[in-house]
A and B are shown apart, each in its own frame.
Chain A
Amino acid sequence: MTVHAAEAVLDEPPIVTDGKTVTDVTEDVCRPVERGPTIWWFLAFGVALAALIFGAVAVYHTVTVGIGTWGLNRTIGWAFDITNFVFWVGIGHAGTLISAILLLFRQKWRMSIARAAEAMTIFAVCCAGLFPILHMGRPWLGFWNIPYPNSRALWVNFRSPLLWDVFAISTYLIISAVFWYVGLVPDLATVRDRAKGKVRKFVYGLLSLGWDGSARTWARYEVACLLLAGLAAPLVVSVHSVVSFDFATSLLPGWHATIFPPYFVTGAIFSGFAMVLTLLIITRKVLGIQAYITIKHLENMCKVILVTGMLVGLAYGTEMFIAFYSGNEHERFVFMNRATGPMAWSYWIMVGCNVLSPQILWFKRARTSVPIMFVVSILVNVGMWFERFVIIVTTLHRDFLPANWSSYSPTWTEVGMFVGSFGLFFTLFLLFVRVAPVVAMAEVKSILHARPHHDAATETKEARHVEPKEVHA
């Protein structure tokens, strides 16, 4: 109780508004899962599914005809594929970061948004994981990246950052999924216990693993969550560091930079928070859970975006300075080329979206205005996609030997796979909001009593008058 008391002293604004009770939380959060989907949901799902099908067609075409259906060439071996990969991995960072790191720092405001953010993480990592497989010339042999004993008696190359990716991404996906699922179990039990139909009861019964809310389990559960958070937090940092190694350990100017790991992690947090913001602004409205995901939550995320946006800007500046200061002609050229070369437009989109657009969030008016922050979050998403595009394509298209220089433009298959990845992401997310509580009920319930102005006694009394009948029923 000491923590709650401290919060009361600090007179912080409530994390959950509208005087919601534990009962309200259950009702409000379970409602979307229990009632039929709305027309808006069907509409959104239709669009997402269409995008997914477009992507599937593009994938089919690529796999059957060849990577030649893309706009790549001898100089530019990666473009949309790895840009999308890094983009989605980056998106996938905010979820675990919000859950794990904010949990470790005991930031209670995380609780309302953690579930959605974690789900986003998993779906984003799924999207991300597709691209390293699909970008291969022979994706059906992708399993050769796994060090299993085989008839060829050949192992994998543990010196390759791509192999580190295999380990990092799969570990991240597994640990995130476990963390997410462990968090879901009590809430699934709630849904199970409220379920009317047999099938529902059975399915949620299976998924909730016989959870009964025992205090002994809760005690272990909390320790386990803390441990998983403790593991996931460095994992987040490591995964995007490893992704940055794909570039940093190469020897191309513009890739070969020691700044990359922190730069990428910051960028991932930045883009991840932006995506969470985009998603939650929509979700809270559509599901009517504004009381749980409040303006305060959104404002907090805006603050994170503002800070990380400036960190990203600092990274851009540092890169530029080091390129100049190193005296390395290749480095200097690559950065000059990014800013002034034939693909400078992509660089300036990146700078405009990532560094300039978040500056409006200095103003509280903007931070608390849903339309403004929505626009900013979209711009940051765009900017962060372009950041990866800039890093990959503007580095590759003009490297050491001028005779190799070339240019790049995407084909419909690449655009299709890009759109398709969004289709997959939103399809999964829309299915998720239909089948699982989108707010972590158990966690939110645990902080309701922390509200300083909450009158527990009155509520208990009210409840007492109502309850006896039910008990004996």
Chain B
Amino acid sequence: MSARLLYASFGDETALLAATAEARRLGVAIHDAYTPHPVHGLDEAMGLRRSRLPWICFTGGAVGLGLASLMQWWMSAVDWPLVIGGKPFGSWPAFAPVMFETMVLLAGLSTAFALFLRSRLRPRISAPAVPPRATQDRYVLALAERDGSFDRREVMSLLHRHGALSIQEGDT
């Protein structure tokens, strides 16, 4: 999907929030926003859906727990049972720590990898086109100029009204 984008840079998160909220109210398609830190309320202002990462985290944990239980039971009681300290072959209380640790490990790793995959975060040879100073002290709103409803003048005035420091155009 190709569209012309309008990058409006703000010096402050309140301005960004207000501009975003108003743009959304006006029905302007909000492509994205770029901020140096997470801005609370921005996801609501942009109308983003809740992340599904918790489900991935839960699944990862459940798999870890299951795998660890299976592994310990199979190795200790099925494949080569040995009498150790007079304990039963399936010493479940003793298996608990490894079960817990493996659960946490897989849950954490799957969460992190899901984040990286979903957000397309991966080692890159060339740096991405980040709006100037968006990772430092600028709050940038990217509006998509996609259909006829986009009134360029109205949008520009909206952005200026909210204190845009600069406005640039660009492609996705």
Task: Point out residues on A near B: beta carbons under 8 Å.
Answer: 1, 3, 21-23, 25-26, 147, 153-159, 161, 163-164, 167-168, 171, 174-175, 178-179, 182, 185-186, 189-190, 192-194, 201-202, 205-207, 209-224, 227-228, 231-232, 234-235, 238, 242, 245, 441-446, 449, 456, 459-460, 463-464, 467-468, 470-472
Contacts and interface: CB of A to CB of B under 8 A. Distances in A.
A393 B128 CA distance: 56
B125 A202 contact: yes
Contacts of B121: 185, 209-211, 217
A12 B7 CA distance: 36
Contacts of B136: 22-23, 26, 190, 193-194
A448 to B, nearest CB: 9
B102 A167 contact: yes
Contacts of A214: 32-34, 119
B72 to A, nearest CB: 5
Interface in B69-117: 71-72, 75-76, 79-80, 84-85, 87, 91, 94-95, 97-98, 100-102, 104-105, 107-109, 111-112, 114-116
Contacts, number: 240
Contacts of B40: 1, 3, 446
A196 to B, nearest CB: 13
Contact of A178 (B41, B109, B127): B109
A431 to B, nearest CB: 20
A3 to B, nearest CB: 8
B101 A167 contact: yes
B165 A468 contact: yes
A43 B118 CA distance: 44
A468 B75 contact: no
A153 to B, nearest CB: 7
A193 B57 CA distance: 31
A147 B71 contact: yes
Nearest to B88: A159
A69 B126 CA distance: 52
B123 interface: yes
Contacts of B167: 471
Interface residues of B, number: 77
B96 to A, nearest CB: 9
Nearest to A30: B136
Contact of B105 (A21, A25, A171): A171
A155 B71 CA distance: 10
Contact of B165 (A163, A220, A235, A471): A471
A171 B104 contact: yes
B36 A26 contact: yes
Contacts of B166: 467-468, 470-472
Contact of A464 (B41, B119, B165): B165
Nearest to B127: A205
B168 interface: yes
B59 interface: no
A267 B53 CA distance: 34
Given A190-B36, A213-B35, 10 more contacts: A168-B101, A190-B136, A193-B127, A210-B120, A218-B38, A218-B42, A219-B48, A220-B53, A231-B57, A468-B165
Interface string B125-142: 111111011111100100
A460 B163 contact: yes
